[in-house]
Chains A and B, each alone.
Chain A
Amino acid sequence: MSRVSNQSASLKALDSVGRRLSGVYAEAFLAAAEKAGSAESATVELRELVIALSGEGNELMAFIASPTQSRESKTHVIGALCKAGASEFLLDFLHVLNDHDRAELLPAISDSVEEILLDRTGKVKVFVTTATGLDDAVAVSLTAGLRSKLGKDPVISASINPDILGGLVIQVGDWVWDASLSKQLDGLRDQLFERGNHAIQGGRDRFRSDK
């Protein structure tokens, strides 16, 4: 996989229809939560649920997402979650999802909710990839720089990829700003190759009688 694969794993696994659907459910989730006056707590709860369900060794998410399991058996599981202390609102939402056979969208919806909230508060998620860890001083200046450039508050999600050798790669939405060392070396290699070709061709032309 390439080094700019920063977009959340749940969204990437979906096709374009799934992405659109998760956006629609996320909007509905937020609107309903706001009406119930519990937007913030519901969002946090949703995220925690997704993290808990998809944690390592936990097969519950696979069960909920599986199309081979019947709606009824999923309803039982969701009911059991209730006993684990989930709020009334979240349970209702899970039941709605289940009734529409969209339970597998749960992680994607959580990501979408987060994106919508960021967007509403004038923030934007920025993925930064570096070869070694991003130190604090750089992070601060990067945040300031991005803020003036984007006109929005950047929320930096940092990751480390030694393959880029040095420099950094910044991704905002569909746009990628690649200032990595490996990219520069690639460019230099291509340029040298091309110039070398021209030099060789030039040398060959000098020896040709018809030119």
Chain B
Amino acid sequence: MRFKADEIVSVLTSEIQNYRGKADLREVGQVLEVGDGIARVFGLGGIMAGEMVEFPRTGVTGLAFNLEETSVGVIILDDYKLLAEGDECKALGTLLRVPVGEALIGRVVDPLGVPLDGKGPIVTSHYRLVESPAPGVAARQPVEEPMQTGIKAIDAMTPIGRGQRELIIGDRKTGKTAIAIDTILNQKGGDMICVYVAIGQKESTVAKIIENLRNQGAMDYTIVVVAGSAYSAPAQYIAPYAGCAMAEYFMLEQGRATLCVYDDLSKQAAAYRQLSLLMRRPPGREAFPGDIFYAHSRLLERSAKMAERFVIVPTSADDAKVTDSSAVNQKVYVGPIDKEHAIKDELPKHPGHKLAKIPSSGGSLTALPIIETLEGEVSAYIPTNVISITDGQIYLQGSLFNSGQRPAVDVGISVSRVGGKAQIGAMKSVSGGMRLDLASFRELEAFAQLGTELDKATQSQLDRGYRVVEVLKQPPYQPVAVVDQVIIIYAATKGFLDKIDRQKVQAWEAQFIRFMREQKSEVRSELEKQKKLTPELTKQLEACIQEFGLQFRA
């Protein structure tokens, strides 16, 4: 690759010729005190809350956070140590924005969108406000499309839909991040854009995660926003909003499906608490400020499944260029009910026309916030807040993790309030009674440990339970395609594994998946296409299992 230097020179020359410098009118104040990521500024009488400020001597930027009678509290987004008392501080008249767009995909950036990966500047003409209002009721539609995590225990029993907010909660070292990373890895080859926001984490951990994503080719569709534990509290506080803005661009402007992982919001809450206390805002429960709930709710509320918008256009129209104004009857059909009405009643009135989706509509932003609990205490302030905001939670238990059940998802108390709507038909039919079966198995298991003699029916129920639990185990960073999940869970819940030694279940699973891919690909692809278990497919699948049973060698 070679750059034409004279071409660049001509661009710059015309730039200089046409440069019309305007006098710069601005409001200024002086720094009274500075420290711990905040500054108190005198002056700036007309500044607005949330407005950006700049300290021209150092180029450091900040945000007006507290407007007081005689001074303004500013949170500093860069290195506060560069500032000194008496420095000039100027209002910029804008709100905080970050660069967004395709140029960010595959990049590692800080919360202001400054690249950290040494791959050159991010050149984009698109910017979005870090804090923007969540889409309203009219702009949304119900969450129904599945967002596959690639984790059997979750996709089968706590399904997540596109546009849902599903909390991942658990103690330290229980595999919370691994679940989020698995989910990102599982989007490979799909249409989803992922944003991973690391808040208050060790740089070494983040480096490992990025390495992992890169190794598996997941950076092709992922943006990583890093506000490590060495970052100032303001940077950690705004990081999730910045990540959300980056995802929102793809959802709102391009109608794409996006996934945003906030890892983790407990550290963000701690950063916000630090800021608020330094700003002398009154502390509340656990010393968190009164608006900590709103800090999380306004962030998570920005996750949405946007309504699909349809218009009637001539059959020859280009689908990619359809807009609101291209409708022949000046009508836009919003959401699934309108769509049905348009197909049934309106389209027949316009022969030679078709119903086309406006490309920028129907995007989604799925949020996977992570909360770290202390000693399994979910009734602490931040966990209860975020539990009540989200549409369900995945509980991870340290005891399960230590007993070798990984991912350590406690299926008994993990829920998804969107439910079965966000599952493909096949998964819904195989995983239907699984949760109840597992619950009764856990009860029996506790009973069996007493060493009492068990009748045959109970023993077989126990055996089945052990196999199902075994099937739900999964190594990290190896998401399983949903079709394979259906096949395996079908085999386990229908008792085809009862005769297999417990220790060999995982080997059986791995070999069977390979067998289905290599030797029975027609059955597998049919299931993939139909997305449900028809009686015909069920028969074929059972035949496959029988056939494999004969050649299985552990």
Contact = CB atoms under 8 A, between A and B. Distances in A.
Question: Is the A/B pair a real complex?
Answer: yes
Interface of A: 1-2, 4-5, 7, 12, 15-17, 19-20, 171, 173-179, 183-184, 187-188, 191-192, 195-201, 203-204, 207
Given A174-B29, A177-B23, A192-B15, A4 B88 contact: yes
Interface string B241-255: 000000000000000
B179 to A, nearest CB: 31
Contacts of A204: 1
B46 interface: yes
B382 to A, nearest CB: 33
Interface in B8-62: 8, 11-12, 15-16, 19, 21, 23-30, 32-33, 40, 42-46, 56-57
B12 A16 contact: no
Nearest to A173: B45
Contacts of A171: 28
Contacts of B88: 2, 4-5
A192 B13 CA distance: 9
A179 B23 contact: yes
B86 A1 contact: yes
Contacts of A175: 25-28
A184 B28 CA distance: 18
A197 to B, nearest CB: 5
Contact of B57 (A2, A191, A195): A2
Contacts of B29: 174
A17 B25 CA distance: 28
Contacts of A174: 27-29, 43-46
A191 B121 CA distance: 15
A196 B12 contact: yes
A178 B87 CA distance: 17
Nearest to B91: A174
B70 A199 contact: no
Given A174-B43, A192-B16, A203-B7, A16 B70 contact: yes
A177 B27 CA distance: 9
Given A1-B86, A4-B28, A174-B28, A188 B16 contact: yes
B90 A195 contact: no
A114 to B, nearest CB: 18
16 contacts: A1-B57, A174-B29, A174-B45, A175-B26, A176-B28, A177-B23, A177-B24, A177-B25, A178-B23, A187-B24, A192-B15, A192-B16, A196-B12, A199-B11, A203-B3, A203-B8
Given A19-B70, A196-B12, A203 B42 contact: no
B4 interface: yes
Interface of A, helix, strand, loop or mixed by DSSP:
helix
A192 B28 CA distance: 26
B507 interface: no
A15 B33 contact: yes
B52 to A, nearest CB: 16
B25 A176 contact: yes
A152 B219 CA distance: 61
Contacts of A198: 123
Contacts of A178: 23-26
Interface string B376-411: 000000000000000000000000000000000000
A12 B31 CA distance: 9
B125 to A, nearest CB: 8
A199 B15 CA distance: 12
Contacts of B71: 16
B532 to A, nearest CB: 36
B19 A17 contact: no
B32 A16 contact: yes
Contacts of B7: 199, 203
A122 B33 CA distance: 33
Contacts of A207: 1
B42 A19 contact: yes
Contacts of B12: 192, 195-196
Nearest to B10: A199
B90 A176 contact: yes
A128 B369 CA distance: 53
Given A2-B57, A7-B30, A199-B7, A183 B16 contact: no
Nearest to B30: A12
Nearest to B90: A176
A197 B124 CA distance: 10
B15 A191 contact: yes
